[in-house]
A and B are shown apart, each in its own frame.
Chain A
Amino acid sequence: MTGFRLFTAFYTLLRRDLLMAFRHRGELANPLLFFVLVVSLFPLALGPDSRTLAPLAPGVIWVAALLASMLSLEGLFRSDFDDGALEQLLLSPHPVAVLVFAKVLAHWLITGVPLIVLAPLLGVLLHLPQPGMPALMLSLLLGTPVLSLVGSIGVALTVGVRRGGLLLSLLILPLYVPVLIFAASAVGDAAHGLQVGAQLTFLAAMLVLALRLAPIATGAALRISVG
């Protein structure tokens, strides 16, 4: 019975967050536009030569995805914190970690998945060689949930802080380093036609670790921030 109720709570929260996101469709596109804009700035700065752009493509796309994910995360708990819904969540009888996971999952479905779909297009813009495309999508599929999960800890810690945006980047960008390293190297190696199973396995391992631990830390951080 409790398991069933927990699932209902999880599902309700997930549905609510998705619904709220679709009611504000304008905001939905912002992280994506940011992602596309940042990536298209690079050819303007580095020159249109495909020989310059192709080796840089994996890193550029991944750094842009990372920044887009971080910027969109900033609002993860903001409105709930402002209108008191967050307090109600923490008061509910269900484990906070599960509820946090529902919110992070909703956020990832809204911002992470479109990023993955859009990424090959940006790969084409930057002349990423064809064999790199599947690795790009796979690495984003495994990597962006880690970004959302780890980032949610930082967001939960800074939700009560005024102008927490810059602080948030200082807190979570160092923690993003392993994901960036493995993901960008997977895409780069795949573009050269090398095997990338090792990198992707590492990303999957990080995802498993983050799935298990990050919601707990985020829950603890929310309890502190809400007080």
Chain B
Amino acid sequence: MWTFIHRLASPKHFYHLAGRMIPWFAWGCALLMVAGLIGGLWFAPPDYQQGDGFRIIYVHVPAAWMSLFIYAVMAGASAVGIIWKIKMADIIAACSAPIGASFTFLALVTGSLWGKPMWGTYWVWDARLTSELILLFLYLGYMGLQAAIEDRQNAARASAVLALVGVINLPIIHYSVVWWNTLHQGATVSVFGKDDIATSMLIPLLLMGLAFTLFYATIVLMRARTAVLEQERRSQWVRELIKSL
């Protein structure tokens, strides 16, 4: 186990291992996404209240899940990077941020597209929408800090501190927004309502969630591979790799 982790932490081994894993993740993602979309758009029955409009959850909900999941991965990788000074963890954290920001943006856009026919307006200061918006700002701040500091190692460590501060604050922000919102208006529209979601609707949703996770894994590994090559461009193994191409 420890030797595996040590090998993973070395950029060279990571590069090769990631190269072998990417096709698996990519194909898994494609298969699951096709299955999820067929199940969600074809087999799942229309919602009794929202009709076919509810089907946007097959993009919206997984995107929202990913926006939180990726922030957690980012914070975890940042902690590993700052405590054990593992370069690969810094790279993973830095490469995750733009993907997380994109998923957050996607969740916001699909949420407001869904809101127009359902709530009659593109934007409601609903608790979840608001905390998602603040999450987007946190991602953008992280990326801004990363871009502003020239020294790579300092940038990684500074943004790691920011990610950790953010992860402590996220629950506080989320619950204060929920609390703020309940003061202003009654119950928010909840996709899941009181009744459990029907199985025929749930299975495609879970498939899509898995597909999105694999999509993230694929993209983050691809980005990390490029970042590794760029950072290690002066090292022997990268030179040999490029010569052999």
Contacts and interface: CB of A to CB of B under 8 A. Distances in A.
Task: Say whether A and B bind each other.
Answer: yes
A177 B158 contact: no
A40 interface: no
Most chain A beta-carbon neighbours within 10 Å: one of B140, B154, B161 = B161
Is chain B's interface secondary structure helix, strand, loop, or mixed overall?
helix
Nearest to A169: B141
Contacts of A227: 151, 154
A174 B137 CA distance: 7
B145 A182 contact: no
Is chain A's interface secondary structure helix, strand, loop, or mixed overall?
helix
A174 B138 CA distance: 7
Interface stretch (A27-35, A95-103, A108-116, A158-166): A158-166
Interface string A141-156: 0000000000001100
A157 to B, nearest CB: 5
A171 B154 contact: no
Contact of B158 (A174, A185, A221): A221
Interface residues of B, number: 27
A168 to B, nearest CB: 9
A202 B91 CA distance: 37
A53 interface: no
B173 A164 contact: no
A175 B176 contact: no
A213 B145 contact: no
B144 A224 contact: no
B217 interface: no
A178 to B, nearest CB: 4
B164 A217 contact: yes
A154 B161 CA distance: 10
Nearest to B155: A224
B161 A171 contact: no
Interface stretch (B16-24, B177-185, B187-195, B227-235): B177-185
A47 B179 CA distance: 31
A-B pairs, 3 with minimum CB distance: A178-B176, A174-B137, A181-B180
Given A158-B145, A161-B149, 20 more contacts: A153-B165, A157-B145, A157-B158, A157-B162, A160-B154, A161-B145, A161-B148, A167-B144, A174-B137, A174-B141, A174-B169, A178-B176, A181-B179, A181-B180, A182-B176, A185-B183, A206-B172, A217-B165, A224-B161, A225-B154
